[in-house]
Structure 1
Amino acid sequence: MAHGRDESGAERADRNWSELLQELRVMQTGVQVLTGFLLTLPFQQRFAELDRYQLTLYLALVCLSVATTGVLIAPVAVHRSVFRRGLKAPLVTASDRLTRLGLVMLGLVVTGTAMLAFDVVLSRTAGIVVGACAATLLAVLWVLVPQRLGAAARDAARDRARTVAHVSP
């Protein structure tokens, strides 16, 4: 029994894989829409007005967005190559790492896209400020909040263990 669940290692790997797939579906959709949006920008009339900085940022974002799409779809490719080989636990571990990397990359793409939009519409300063705010917000939501929840869960588990230890004869 692990983490309060009565499940075998194989059952845990199956559950973890299923949960990871649900998370990937959300991220894959988001990055694919964002990539599609970025790829349509050169076909807009104002695109020709971008300065060197904006054009460089745009091209970097396209490359990063395409790479993020690849990283977030990679767990599916890994699954296809290890399907029915009894490698579910290593699949989950590798896919978890890819997903974490993809989350960081997605945060960079979202931040950079906000920077570019505000830079083009308002000013370079506005773009930098919005980029910093977006990066901070995503770091809080995607890093700090989960870390706090994890710490609270560890503290609660430690408190339960102490209580059990004191109650035991």
Structure 2
Amino acid sequence: MVSSGAEPPGGPDATGQEPGGYGRHRHGREETPEERADRRWNDIIQEVRVAQTGVQILFGFLMTVAFTPVFATLGGTEKTIYVVTVVLGAATTGALVGPVSFHRLLTGHRLKPQTVVWASRLTLIGVVLLLATMVSALLLILRIALRGSAVPWVVAGLAAWFVLCWFGLPLWTRHHYRARK
């Protein structure tokens, strides 16, 4: 059940707990630990679906590059960047598929809260690996397409943008709104 946000008579105690509740916090949710784990699991799965789709498409394209005529013309540095990018893409795929395996292997063992914690960690690792994969892929593509001294600057700017969007703004928001409480 979702809280309406209105405080019941008596209000929360010093810890934010509502009297007689399952741990409902002020402006929070009234849910059991199992319900919370189920909700958090569904949130993680939705997040992973979005990230997995992009990673799988990127990884699929990366795997085909080695079989194109252009690959033979690449220099040693570009081939090294390509190999690093493919390995990062594979690692990203592994991290983002990990939550699915966790769920499948632990379903029915009454370990949902622990599964959620580990799935969340794997998802965050997957996002960090996705950042590295994207930066590496951009470096490879822009080195081939532009062949200029601006490439490192463009890649660094895009990497900073990813860090800002994926980590900076969420962490700032968490800090900013936590400080206001």
Give the TM-score, by structure 1 length.
0.89
Q: Does 1:53 align with 2:70?
A: no
The answer for the alignment partner of 2:33 in structure 1 is 9
**Aligned equivalents of 1:92, 1:127: Cα separation in 2:** 40
1:77-156 alignment, distance < 5 Å: 77-123=101-147, 125-156=149-180
The alignment-based identity, stated in percent, is 38
Structure 2 residue runs of 5 or longer lacking an equivalent are: 1-23
**Aligned equivalents of 2:32, 2:132: Cα separation in 1:** 38
Q: Which has the higher contact order (CA 8 A, sep 6+)?
A: 1
Q: Say which structure is richer in helix.
A: 1
**Aligned equivalents of 1:16, 1:117: Cα separation in 2:** 37
The answer for the alignment partner of 2:21 in structure 1 is none
**Aligned equivalents of 1:146, 1:119: Cα separation in 2:** 31
SS at match of 1:110: helix
**Aligned equivalents of 1:120, 1:126: Cα separation in 2:** 12
**Aligned equivalents of 2:58, 2:148: Cα separation in 1:** 22
**Aligned equivalents of 1:117, 1:124: Cα separation in 2:** 12
Give the TM-score, by structure 2 length.
0.83
Say if 1:35 and 1:66, in contact at 8 Å, map to a contact too.
yes
Structure 1's consecutive aligned runs of 4 or more residues displaced over 4 angstroms after TM superposition are none
**Aligned equivalents of 2:81, 2:145: Cα separation in 1:** 15
RMSD (Å), alpha carbons? 1.2
**Aligned equivalents of 1:59, 1:29: Cα separation in 2:** 21
Q: CA deviation at 1:155?
A: 2.4
Aligned-partner residue type, residue 108 of structure 1: A
**Aligned equivalents of 1:152, 1:51: Cα separation in 2:** 47
Aligned-partner residue type, residue 74 of structure 1: G
Which of the numbers 13, 18, 22 marks the counterpart of 2:46? 22
Q: Does 1:38 align with 2:62?
A: yes
